[in-house]
Chain A
Amino acid sequence: MGTPIEVSGMSVRKRPKRAPDLMNELGKTDRPKRALAVASGGGHWMQLMCLVPVLDGYDVVFVTVADSYRRVVPENRFYVVRDANRWNKFLLVALAAKIAWIICKERPDLVISTGAAPGYFAVLFGHLLGARTIWVDSLANIERLSLSGRLAGKCTDLWLTQWPHLARTEGPQYAGAVL
C-alpha cells in the first residue's frame, strides 16, 4: 500500500514483483487487466453487480456462493465457494484455502469485493500476491463496519464505506454509494 512515486510523469507503486507480462515485454499487445470480483449472496452480490460496469475493459472473473448466479454473468469465468462465517472455523479455513487457490490460479491484477468473508480472504490473498484491492463495505453496515470490512482495511488499497458517518481519516473513506 505504498504511496505512488512520480517517475517522469508515470505513477509507479511499490509492489511485490510478479512474473513479467511476456506479450507486453515483446511490445505486441496489452492483455486486458484481470479483475477478481468477489461477493457473498443476496445484497452483497447485488451491490457487486452495481460496480461491475466500472470494470469495463477488464477481464472480470467472479467468485460467489451460489452456482445459480452464473446465469447473471454467463460470459465470465465464475467460481463458487461455500460461504462461511466465524461461527464455523472449519468452513472458514476451507473457504480461505479455496480462495487462495483461485487467486493463485487467476493471478488477478485487481481484487474488488462488497463482502463478506469470501471477499475478505480474496483481498487478503490478492494483496499478498501483489494485486491492487478495492473494498466497498456493504450498505447493510449502517452503524459500524462488519468484521470482514474492518479486517479488510489492513490489506485494501481503496477502502470505502457507503455511509458518510462511518468515514474516518485513517479509513475507510466515503465516496458515494450504490443507492
Chain B
Amino acid sequence: MIFVTVGSQGPFDRLIHAVDEWTALRGRSDVFAQIGKAKYIPKHIRFTEFVDPVEFKHLVESAQLILAHAGIGSIISALESARPIVVMPRRAHFREQRNDHQVATARHFEARRQIIVAYEEQSLAEKIDYALTLRNTERIKMEASPQLVVTIRSFLNRNFGPHKFQP
C-alpha cells in the first residue's frame, strides 16, 4: 500500500493530482490518500479528508511508501516507522503555504539522505518509481533531547518551585 498525506494545514491539490496521474499510469490499485478539503477529486486512488493521529500511525506502518507534503509531521512519522518517503514541498507562490519553509525542510532532510524530494510535480513520477525500489530506511525517534528537558524543567522549578503534585 502507498499512503499519501497532505497533512493538517489544508489541501495540496498539486500533489494529489500528480499522484493520481502516476497511479493511473502505473495501473496501481493500492494507493490511499488523505487529501484535506480538496478541490481536486482524485479518480484513480481511494481517499479521505482527514485521519486522526492513531489512524495516521497505523496507515504509515502498513504502507510500503509514504508520499507527502514536506511537513515536519509527515516526514518524522515516516522516519519513526522507518518507511521511505517522497515529499513535494508546498510553495508560497501557489498559495499552498504562507512561505517557502517546506523547501528548506525538504533540503535539510534530503541532505541527510533521509527523504526523497520532488521539488516540482514533473519529477514526482520518477522519484516515486525510484523510492519503490528502496527498502525501509533508518529509524529515528522523536523525543525531547536531554538538554531541552533540563532547560524546561529548571525554568519550571525556578518559577513554580520543585513541584509537588497532590492528587
Q: Which residues of A contact B (CB under 8 A)?
A: 4, 11, 13, 29-33, 40-47, 50-51, 53-58, 65-66, 68-69, 71-72, 83, 85-87, 109-110, 132, 134, 136, 138-143, 146-147, 157-158, 160, 175-179
How does the 8 Å CB contact mask read for B130-167 relative to A, with 1 for contact and 0 for none? 00000000001011111111011101101110011110
Interface residues of B, count at CB 8 A: 42
The docked-state distance in angstroms from the alpha carbon of A178 to that of B8 is 20
- Best-buried of B72, B73, B142 by chain A (most CB within 10 Å): B72
Residues B166 and A32 in contact, CB atoms below 8 Å apart: yes
Please name all residues of chain B whose beta carbon is closer than 8 Å to the beta carbon of A140 when the two chains form the complex. 71-72, 101-102, 105
Of all chain A residues, which has the CB nearest B155? A158
Q: Which of B15-23, B39-47, B49-57, B119-127 contacts A (4 or more CB under 8 A)?
A: B49-57
Of all chain B residues, which has the CB nearest A142? B104
Is B7 close to A, CB under 8 A? yes
Residues B71 and A143 in contact, CB atoms below 8 Å apart: no
Residues B156 and A110 in contact, CB atoms below 8 Å apart: yes
Is B98 close to A, CB under 8 A? yes
From B9, B143, B158, B163, A11 is in contact (CB under 8 Å) with B158
Residues A54 and B159 in contact, CB atoms below 8 Å apart: no
Residues A50 and B9 in contact, CB atoms below 8 Å apart: no
- Best-buried of A68, A139, A140 by chain B (most CB within 10 Å): A140
A–B pairs, 29, beta carbons within 8 Å = A30-B166, A31-B166, A42-B72, A42-B73, A45-B8, A46-B73, A46-B142, A53-B144, A54-B144, A54-B152, A57-B164, A68-B50, A69-B52, A72-B53, A72-B54, A83-B9, A87-B95, A87-B98, A110-B156, A138-B72, A142-B104, A142-B105, A142-B108, A143-B101, A146-B98, A158-B155, A178-B142, A178-B143, A178-B148
